[in-house]
Amino acid sequence: MTVESTAARTPRRASSGGKRTSASAKSAGASAKKSASAKKPAKDAGAGAQPELVQLLTPEGERVESPEYDKYVADVTPEDLRVLYRDMVMTRRFDAEAVTLQRQGELGLWPSLLGQEAAQVGSGRATREDDYVFPTYREHGVAWCRGVDPTLLLGMFRGVNNGGWDPNSNNFHLYTIVIGSQTLHATGYAMGIAKDGADSAVVAYLGDGATSQGDVAEAFTFAAVYNSPVVFFCQNNQWAISEPTEKQSRVPLYQRAQGYGFPGVRVDGNDVLACLAVSKWALERARTGEGPSLVEAFTYRMGAHTTSDDPSRYRRDEEREAWEAKDPIKRLRAYLEAEGHADEAFFAELDAESETLGKRVREVVRSMPDPEPMSIFENIYADGHALVDEERAEFAAYQASFADAPADAATGGEVK
């Protein structure tokens, strides 16, 4: 059983508040021990109020109570916790392989998710199969939870295709590099869902830097005014390339939501259980007609922005070291061990499984065929477009200008 399937059992259109069943004796999510640093003010990223941080697992892996959010993980079993742990380990291993592949010239570029596994797995596992997800370019952990084969994420970064997967297979949209624009796509999609009368929800991922984009302001406005079933899941990883969050906003990011008229919550983005709980809260709001929410997952980009970036030029090692102590995988492991929910054999098997994944990713990427040059013009517009036709013809003529060009190169590229 997966956490996702747990979510899928939640009745649709269930009225919010007080209707969820209380935790069973063996449900791991309920075993909160002490109350909490949930009320402890977090290190503020902006000026003004000291924000509260929703936290269910401390960095040391101790379960703390949250009167508001415990109920959203009350049905999480030890098996579910192991699934969450596995998701994070597999995702990190995949990501490490991709970085290595880029360093060896097999990929053109790679945006690592290192450090953001809990934010992505917690929110990803909160979604239901019929929900629709609009990612940025860094949501490899969410893709994993949605069941997208990770090797498919690499085609675009190898330059062999323009996307790599069918968004409708897993309700996981293509990666979007144009900062913030996916929040508009998500809001439009959510408006459509509402018009259809479906009770699915939409999740739009965005970064801290993206909150400065006009597209995001428009998406927030439309989502609020149309009361759309969309969750804006902002991973505040403290940096937008070399720009720190405090240069993006005068207030903590989650407080931006208030001005648009919907709630915003800051969650410990390195605590997978808290991210699961807060995401379920936000998704339930969306499903039950309560409209959009903003979740700010307070986390840290442990690596470079992309493999083209060198963070040592703009941030100090001590900052990274401080965040290492809050590692999302270490803290869930500590909790699993303390509660006796996982033994050495589990961790050893997972290590072996993740190595197998790394090997598979490497083999698949290296054997990806080069595309036909003209295929870059495919799948752009459903009904064609004059400008694309012109560019296709120009490129075909260019191809044909080479001495060793195949005889049909100037035909406009009838690519099979």
Ligand X SMILES: Cc1ncc(C[n+]2csc(CCOP(=O)(O)OP(=O)(O)O)c2C)c(N)n1
Active-site amino acid positions: 301, 305, 314
Return the one option of Mg ion, ligand X, none that residue 210 interacts with (CB less than 5 to 8 A, by type): ligand X
Question: Under the criterion CB under 5 A, does residue 269 sit at the interface with Mg ion?
Answer: no
CB of 121 to Mg ion, least distance (A): 18
Query: Which contiguous run of DSSP H or E holds residue 337?
Result: helix 328-339
Residues in CB range of 355: below 8 A, 6 or more apart: 93
CB of 184 to ligand X, least distance (A): 12
Pair of tokens at residue 147: 């069941």
Q: What are phi and psi of 375, to 5 degrees?
A: -70, -10
Query: Which contiguous run of DSSP H or E holds residue 221?
Result: helix 214-225
Nearest Cα to 332, choosing from 144, 105, 91, 142?
91
The smaller minimum CB distance to ligand X, of residues 136 and 270, is found at 136
CB of 111 to ligand X, least distance (A): 7
Residue 88 and residue 272 in contact, taking contact as beta carbons nearer than 8 Å: yes
In angstroms, the CA 132 to CA 173 distance is 8
Specify the residue for token string 């995401």: 279
Question: Under the criterion CB under 5 A, does residue 213 sit at the interface with Mg ion?
Answer: no
Residue type, position 16, single letter: S
Question: Under the criterion CB under 5 A, does residue 303 sit at the interface with Mg ion?
Answer: no
CB of 16 to ligand X, least distance (A): 31
Q: What are phi and psi of 131, to 5 degrees?
A: -75, 165
Residue type, position 396, single letter: A
Return the one option of ligand X, Mg ion, none that residue 89 interacts with (CB less than 5 to 8 A, by type): none
CB of 159 to Mg ion, least distance (A): 25
Sign of CA dihedral 353, 357, 358, 359: positive
Residue 215 and residue 180 in contact, taking contact as beta carbons nearer than 8 Å: yes
The smaller minimum CB distance to Mg ion, of residues 6 and 238, is found at 238
Residue number closest to Mg ion, CB atom: 207
The smaller minimum CB distance to Mg ion, of residues 256 and 280, is found at 256
Select from 81, 142, 240, 409 the one that contacts Mg ion (CB under 5 A): 240
Question: Under the criterion CB under 5 A, does residue 208 sit at the interface with Mg ion?
Answer: yes
Return the one option of Mg ion, ligand X, none that residue 178 interacts with (CB less than 5 to 8 A, by type): ligand X
The smaller minimum CB distance to ligand X, of residues 209 and 311, is found at 209
In angstroms, the CA 334 to CA 269 distance is 17
Strands 243-244 and 239-240, bridge-based pairing: antiparallel
Select from 237, 279, 293, 299 the one that contacts Mg ion (CB under 5 A): 237
Question: Under the criterion CB under 5 A, does residue 139 sit at the interface with Mg ion?
Answer: no
Residue number closest to ligand X, CB atom: 207
Return the one option of Mg ion, ligand X, none that residue 256 interacts with (CB less than 5 to 8 A, by type): none
Return the one option of Mg ion, ligand X, none that residue 138 interacts with (CB less than 5 to 8 A, by type): ligand X
Return the one option of ligand X, Mg ion, none that residue 112 interacts with (CB less than 5 to 8 A, by type): none
Question: Under the criterion CB under 5 A, does residue 210 sit at the interface with Mg ion?
Answer: no
Nearest Cα to 295, choosing from 415, 145, 124, 413?
124
The smaller minimum CB distance to Mg ion, of residues 151 and 235, is found at 235
The smaller minimum CB distance to ligand X, of residues 191 and 210, is found at 210
Nearest Cα to 189, choosing from 235, 229, 136?
229
Question: Under the criterion CB under 5 A, does residue 135 sit at the interface with Mg ion?
Answer: no
Nearest Cα to 115, choosing from 88, 137, 90?
88
| C-beta atoms surrounding 174 within 10 Å | 17
Residue 70 and residue 29 in contact, taking contact as beta carbons nearer than 8 Å: yes
CB of 210 to ligand X, least distance (A): 4
Side-chain-side CA neighbours of residue 25 (13 Å)? 0
Question: Under the criterion CB under 5 A, does residue 119 sit at the interface with Mg ion?
Answer: no
In degrees, rounded to 5, the angle at the alpha carbon of residue 122 between the alpha carbons of residues 121 and 126 is 105
Question: Under the criterion CB under 5 A, does residue 116 sit at the interface with Mg ion?
Answer: no
- Which residues contribute to the site for ligand X (CB under 6 A)? 136, 138, 177-179, 207-210, 237, 239-241, 301, 305
Return the one option of ligand X, Mg ion, none that residue 132 interacts with (CB less than 5 to 8 A, by type): none
CB of 80 to Mg ion, least distance (A): 29
The smaller minimum CB distance to ligand X, of residues 23 and 294, is found at 294
Residues that bind Mg ion (CB under 5 A): 207-208, 237, 240
